[in-house]
Amino acid sequence: MSAVHSPESDRTSRSQAARTALLWQLDKVFPANPRAFLDPDGQTQRSMHRANGAAGRYLAELGSSDVDVLDFGCGWGGETLWLANHARSVVGVDIEAAAIDQANRARAESAVTNCRFVQARSGVLPFDDRSFDAVFSTDTFEHVMDLDAAFKELFRVLRPGGVVLSRFGPLFFSPQGYHLYWACQVPYAHLLCGLDAVLALRNARCDTPRGAATWQSLGLNARRFRDYKGSAAAAGFTLERFERIPVRRLRWLASIHGIGDLVTFGIDCRLRRPH
């Protein structure tokens, strides 16, 4: 029996094909570098090499190394391992089992003894109340689906007076908010051409193809600046700093209601659990 195609499904297919073709054309103008794709070991090394500019910034702002730190969204563990050499103790937590496995392999190969890695399979952090002096987090919150629950958990595990220091991005509505820089560099490709077109380009440049029905299933929460700020405040934090990181220094444009999210690369924040 032959398949029956409706006019609507045919139009949808043609529209999708057109968007995919458009993305391939734009890709010629904004070429990506598929060779920038890193294996797990490469990811760990990359994050370790960048840690001085990220975790180092947090420690400098904290003003003390005599602290117990939670690295929220530790990924492959490079930044956490760097922190272990500069803080009293550090725990890296991540939702991905593969990331934790890689982080533990890297720790076993190092001389670090004041660091451990823990997988959090749900939104509940496996730590006692008031366990940490500080929470550091780099490029993680844009992947957190339940922001309200996440900020409440961070509030719970912090000691009174403790702080969350974080810089994260790119946010979803920014130029590279689809987080596939190694496969595509077309600005706003996800907003212009859609999920299927971006995935098709990604899969053409990777040995492990992926399918997805939503951006959330790819780990992107598609939330806006106001969502992050609202969830942090609702958890009980004092927002000592909650600022947009603008695209290409377009701070004046990022502050305009309605279009600001399009030119907001990320967020720089300092949150305190009140005494």
Tell me the pLDDT tens digit for each residue of 54-108: 899 999 999 999 999 999 999 999 999 999 999 999 999 999 999 999 999 999 9
Tally the domains of the chain.
1
Asked if 142 and 171 count as a contact pair (C-beta separation under 8 A), the reply is: yes
The residue among 137, 266, 189, 222 whose CA lies nearest residue 32 is 189
The amino acid at residue 169 is G
Whether 7 is covered by a domain: the verdict is no
Whether 161 is covered by a domain: the verdict is yes
User: β-strands 238-246, 264-272: how paired?
Assistant: antiparallel
Across the beta sheet with 238-246, the strand order is 115-119, 89-94, 68-72, 132-138, 158-168, 264-272, 238-246
Whether 27 is covered by a domain: the verdict is no
User: What are the pLDDT digits (tens) for 101-136?
Assistant: 999 999 999 989 999 999 998 889 999 999 999 999
**pLDDT score for 56:** 93
Asked if 263 and 237 count as a contact pair (C-beta separation under 8 A), the reply is: no
> What is the C-alpha to C-alpha distance for residues 140 and 166, in angstroms, rounded to an integer?
9
Query: Which of 42-51, 69-78, 107-116, 171-180 bottoms out in mean pLDDT, i.e. has the lowest?
Result: 42-51
Q: What tokens appear for 156 in the block? A: 């719970």
Whether 266 is covered by a domain: the verdict is yes
Torsion angle of C-alpha atoms 28, 32, 35, 37, degrees rounded to 10? -140
> What is the C-alpha to C-alpha distance for residues 78 and 90, in angstroms, rounded to an integer?
12
**pLDDT score for 4:** 54
Whether 217 is covered by a domain: the verdict is yes
The residue among 187, 185, 179 whose CA lies nearest residue 212 is 179
- What is the extent of the structural domain holding 130? 39-172+209-272
**pLDDT score for 1:** 45
| CATH code of the domain in which 260 resides | 3.40.50.150
Whether 181 is covered by a domain: the verdict is no
Whether 121 is covered by a domain: the verdict is yes
Q: CB-based burial of residue 249 (10 Å sphere; 0-12 exposed, 13-18 middle, 19+ buried)?
A: exposed
Whether 12 is covered by a domain: the verdict is no
